[in-house]
Amino acid sequence: MATFYIQQFGCRATQADGAAIERQLLDRGCTAASESASADVVVVNTCTVTASADAQARDAIRKLHAANPAACVIVTGCYAQRAPEELAALPGVSWVVGNSHKPQIPDLLQTLSSHPSTPASVAFFPAAALEADSMSLLRAPAKILTGNIFDRTEFLSAPVLGGEGNHTRPTLKIQDGCDSRCSYCVIPFVRGKSRSLPPEMVLQEIQRLSESGFREIVLSGINLGTYGRDLSPRVDFEDLLRRILDETSVERLRISSIEPLDVTQDLVELFASTDRIAQHFHMPLQSGSDRILAAMRRWYRAEHYARRIELIRERLPHAAIGADVITGFPGESEAEHAATLAFIERLPFTYLHVFAFSKRPGTKAASLSNEVPGAIIKRRARELRALSEAKSAAFRQSQFGRTLRVLTLRRDNSSEVSADDATPALSSNYLKVRVRGSHPANNCLDVLISGETGTALVGEPILVCSAPLE
């Protein structure tokens, strides 16, 4: 069977798709190659959330082809769904498979392997074994396999390990697609309708991960708060969380991102009732200006968002509260940018992810003519990032003298091994902590916060928890 390599781009949802393809290929007897240069088949799993994500994917494909011209390159993911012809025109690409047909990639490999006359299949054999004729077949135009994404009901997911330089906290995608239509966002057009992994499968995956020793599991989705609305019978996200706590042995769950209006009193109470859900809310804000929020077709206004933050702060005074912010949406005035800065300034955010507006073909916002000049967008992004750093620093300092329960992470070979002989760790409230001494990864420690070093807190270990947290 073929050896394969999956080159991943994009968000956790896209990486979960890549992990699922990997699982399917391994189940069918394919072998994972350690690098793209030695693989018969390279699957490039793309993102298209910004123009620069597109450019990165094209660049990677060119480099892959130059380094391994014999490989059969299959390009899939969100970019493949949005603009398959663009990718098919790149040299070295054999197949472009949209998200609509992504679950069929393993079948495609199998079919091609059993029909060696099909051009792309010649690449499944080592380059040295190829005849000259076969090599010329490799340059045949790429084939495209895409369909209407809104017809798709399959759910492709497998836990993802890695990210943030560690392999300690697997991410499990439990929801895909989105039924909203924010005017700047291309995701619904490349991922389709909202759909959910059935609760029994969620519980099974979590229990399996937990039994294999993982202590923290991150739940992710494209629009996680809509989890279960497509299922019959319908399932509430809060009920799913309760079942996970009751029916699995997971020690700590983290919710990757949730829309502000899905942060209900019930959800906050649930977070406050247990140490087994990380005290961490990531709620996309996008703008602090009501006019821009309306133009973005977001369904809340700044004060609705502020009330959700107050709800969290009342019950969880030390929770992490993060937000995505888009700067430079068409027509955003200086006063509207200032309103966003002022809104963020007055609320207890603990970090921001700042994005420059990127025009995505096919979206409503792409047709707006009043674009903000690039230099202004850059300056506004700098101002927002500076504010984010100030908010993060204030939050870190508010933790001095507190005891935090942290999970130790795997050290990198490079940056994490430093002269201070400390072990990287992550707190429930999403703070990086450097714990004094050398500790194995995936250990739960109580640490006293004695100061900070760079953007991490310094923790003095108090107690090693070998027993479950609760």
Q: Interface residues with ligand SF4 (CB under 6 A)?
A: 178, 180-182, 185, 187-188, 222-223
Task: In angstroms, give the least distance from the CB of 291 to ligand SF4.
Answer: 18
Max CA-CA distance within the chain? 71
- Give the nearer residue to ligand SF4 in terms of CB position, either 16 or 33: 16
Q: In this structure, how many other beta carbons lie within 10 angstroms of the beta carbon of residue 106?
A: 19
Task: In angstroms, give the least distance from the CB of 329 to ligand SF4.
Answer: 12
Task: In angstroms, give the least distance from the CB of 446 to ligand SF4.
Answer: 36
- Give the nearer residue to ligand SF4 in terms of CB position, either 160 or 296: 296
- Give the nearer residue to ligand SF4 in terms of CB position, either 262 or 460: 262
- Beta-sheet strand order (sheet of 171-176): 195-196, 171-176, 216-221, 252-255
- Give the nearer residue to ligand SF4 in terms of CB position, either 193 or 291: 193
Task: In angstroms, give the least distance from the CB of 373 to ligand SF4.
Answer: 24
Task: In angstroms, give the least distance from the CB of 315 to ligand SF4.
Answer: 25
- Give the nearer residue to ligand SF4 in terms of CB position, either 178 or 241: 178
Task: In angstroms, give the least distance from the CB of 29 to ligand SF4.
Answer: 36
Q: Convert the chain into a string of H (helix), E (strand) and C (coil).
A: CCEEEEEECCCHHHHHHHHHHHHHHHHCCCEECCCHHHCCEEEEEECCCCHHHHHHHHHHHHHHHHHCCCCEEEEEEHHHHHCHHHHHCCCCEEEEEEHHHHHHHHHHHHHHHHCCCCHHHHHHCCHHHCCHHHHHHHCCCCEEECCCHHHCCCCCCCCECCCCCCCCCCEEEEEECCCCCCCCCCHHHHHCCCEECCHHHHHHHHHHHHHCCCCEEEEEECCHHHCCCCCCCCCCHHHHHHHHHHHCCCCEEEECCCCHHHCCHHHHHHHHCCCCECCEEECCCECCCHHHHHHCCCCCCHHHHHHHHHHHHHHCCCCEEEEEEEECCCCCCHHHHHHHHHHHHHCCCCEEEEEECCCCCCCHHHHCCCCCCHHHHHHHHHHHHHHHHHHHHHHHHHCCCCEEEEEECCCCCCCCCCCCCEEEEEECCCCEEEEECCCCCCCEEEEEEEEEECCEEEEEEEEEECCCCC
- Give the nearer residue to ligand SF4 in terms of CB position, either 2 or 187: 187
Task: In angstroms, give the least distance from the CB of 408 to ligand SF4.
Answer: 33
Task: In angstroms, give the least distance from the CB of 298 to ligand SF4.
Answer: 7
Task: In angstroms, give the least distance from the CB of 360 to ligand SF4.
Answer: 10
Task: In angstroms, give the least distance from the CB of 302 to ligand SF4.
Answer: 17
- Give the nearer residue to ligand SF4 in terms of CB position, either 196 or 279: 196
- Give the nearer residue to ligand SF4 in terms of CB position, either 222 or 409: 222
Residue 112's closest CA among 121, 123, 101?
Answer: 121
CA angle 199, 203, 206 (to 5 degrees): 135
Task: In angstroms, give the least distance from the CB of 220 to ligand SF4.
Answer: 12
- Give the nearer residue to ligand SF4 in terms of CB position, either 64 or 295: 295
Q: Cα–Cα distance between 211 and 213 in angstroms, integer? A: 5
- Give the nearer residue to ligand SF4 in terms of CB position, either 92 or 330: 330
- Give the nearer residue to ligand SF4 in terms of CB position, either 18 or 192: 192
